[in-house]
Amino acid sequence: MNILGIETSCDETSASVLSDGRVCSNVVSSQRCHRSFGGVVPELASREHERLIVSIVDAAVTEANIRKNELDVIAATAGPGLIGAVMVGLCFAQGMAWALGLPFVPVNHVEAHIFSPFIDEGASHCAPAGAFVSLTVSGGHTLLSVVESDLSYEVIGRTLDDAAGEAFDKTGKMLGLSYPAGPVIDRLAEKGDPYFHLFPRALTSRSQTSKSYRGNFDFSFSGLKTSVLNWLQKQTPEFIEQHTPDIAASIQWAIVSVLVEKTIDAARSRGIKAVSIAGGVSANSALRKAMKEACDKEGITLHVPGTVYSTDNAAMIATLAAVKLSRGMKGEYRYNISPYASFGGGSRKG
Ligand code: KG4
Ligand code: ZN
């Protein structure tokens, strides 16, 4: 079965062809037009998707070495995301499905991230045999979920304010780094001291309140943002310039240590022996290393996506569509768009 997946929920235009569960192409174009703005400008994102969608889909089909009339199903991100951006991919996918007389499968973007660590294992093995704890961390989401082997899941923690990727991007902007600052901080931090300055870790056992937050799986990163801003305002430009790698490493460690602590705590409290990380921030080298060390210490198996499947990509959309179809879901011929699409309709618990 050949499935074409399309992803346009934020600032990546992507298309992928999955043949019998194997990724045959995964073309991703990251928009550069937002760099000087320090964040994604929704209107520009929609226009860029509109400009690129035809050539990206063509490239994905050509790279997979098939013709469009050999496609069996078309899938696209149906939310959550920037409404204009989602609409470009969704309307294009539905139009193409209609023109080719094919069924269309809408896919939830965050669910696709959750299952992205298992893409290389093939769609039919899209999850480990038992339950696993998923940490999904991107520019828009920070979620801890318990996922069962039947693919149902329960969200047990989420951010109360900023997402982890947003914390990287906004503190990076304060340091004068270009958008998206997450990968830049990652690179700079390699040469820095993560203990140079201790920034706050909200809602953790290290929070400076008498209340213990063990067992609380929610996150909060807005205090970190304020703390970085206040601290930077007290330093001279020369000091900041001289210590940029140390500051980047300290910010990174403040975010990563919270993500690791909460994820391991969740796995321990539920007696679950498998953990996965997903979403753009899961590309972070310090997060990968610290999570691996913590999992090894606890005898937990860690599942990590290939770096191309960490950030937004269409292979994860096509893969989740394949899994849903293999479990009896039928394609549709109409679908409503929602920027606030909730998780998973029938598959979410709680
Ligand atoms: O999943 P994604 O591509 O898009 C959303 O669905 O939001 O995630 C993008 C986010 C951005 O905030 C970006 O700064 C962050 O992922 N990111 C990273 C790294 N690579 C991407 N953050 C930290 N370290 C990285 N290496
Ligand atoms: Zn994403």
Domain edges within the chain: 2-116+309-326, 129-305
Confidence (pLDDT) at 347: 36
- Ligand closest to the CA atom of residue 138: 1
- Ligand closest to the CA atom of residue 82: 1
Whose C-alpha lies nearest to ligand 1, atom 22?
A: 182
* Bridge partner list, 144: 135, 157
**Token digits for 59?**
């490239």
Q: What is the 3-state secondary structure (H, E, C) of the chain?
A: CEEEEEECCCCEEEEEEEECCEEEEEEEEECCCCHHHCCCCHHHHHHHHHHHHHHHHHHHHHHCCCCHHHCCEEEEEEECCCHHHHHHHHHHHHHHHHHHCCCEEEEEHHHHHHHHHHHHHCHHHCCCCCCEEEEEECCCCEEEEEECCCCCEEEEEEECCCCHHHHHHHHHHHCCCCCCHHHHHHHHHCCCCCCCCCCCCCCCCCCCCCCCCCCCCCECCHHHHHHHHHHHHCCCHHHHHHCHHHHHHHHHHHHHHHHHHHHHHHHHHHCCCEEEEECHHHHCHHHHHHHHHHHHHHCCEEECCCHHHHCCCCHHHHHHHHHHHHCCCCCECCCCCCCCCCCCHHHEEC
Q: Which atom of ligand 1 lies at the shortest distance from residue 181's CA?
A: 14
How far, in Å, from the CA of 284 to the mean position of ligand 1?
8
Confidence (pLDDT) at 240: 97
How far, in Å, from the CA of 34 to the mean position of ligand 1?
14
Confidence (pLDDT) at 204: 80
Confidence (pLDDT) at 272: 96
How far, in Å, from the CA of 7 to the mean position of ligand 2?
9
Peptide bond preceding 245: is omega within 30 degrees of 0, i.e. cis? no
Q: Count of CB atoms within 10 A of residue 28's CB? A: 18
Using CA of residue 262, residue 266, residue 267, residue 269, what is the dihedral sign? positive
Q: Which atom of ligand 1 lies at the shortest distance from residue 109's CA?
A: 6
**Token digits for 172?**
């990076």
Q: Which of 288, 291, 311 to mutate to test the pocket of ligand 1 (most atoms within 8 A of CB)?
A: 311
- Can you name the CATH fold of 129-305? Nucleotidyltransferase; domain 5 (3.30.420)
Contact of 140 with 132, CB cutoff 8 Å: no
Cα angle value 145/130/341 (rounded, 5°) = 30
pLDDT along the chain (350 residues), means of 10: 96 95 94 80 91 97 97 95 94 95 94 91 62 94 91 92 96 93 97 97 67 79 96 97 98 98 96 96 97 98 94 95 85 70 43
Distance CA 299, CA 294 (A): 9
Confidence (pLDDT) at 344: 42
Confidence (pLDDT) at 207: 59
Same fold, 2-116+309-326 and 129-305: yes
Confidence (pLDDT) at 197: 97
Contact of 58 with 51, CB cutoff 8 Å: no
Contact of 155 with 173, CB cutoff 8 Å: no
Whose C-alpha lies nearest to ligand 1, atom 20?
A: 183
Distance CA 136, CA 157 (A): 10
Confidence (pLDDT) at 34: 80
Q: Which of 109, 138, 175, 178 to mutate to test the pocket of ligand 1 (most atoms within 8 A of CB)?
A: 138
Confidence (pLDDT) at 125: 53
Report pTM: 0.89
Q: Side-chain half-sphere of 110: how many Cα atoms within 13 Å? A: 27
- Can you name the CATH fold of 2-116+309-326? Nucleotidyltransferase; domain 5 (3.30.420)
Q: Which atom of ligand 1 lies at the shortest distance from residue 9's CA?
A: 6
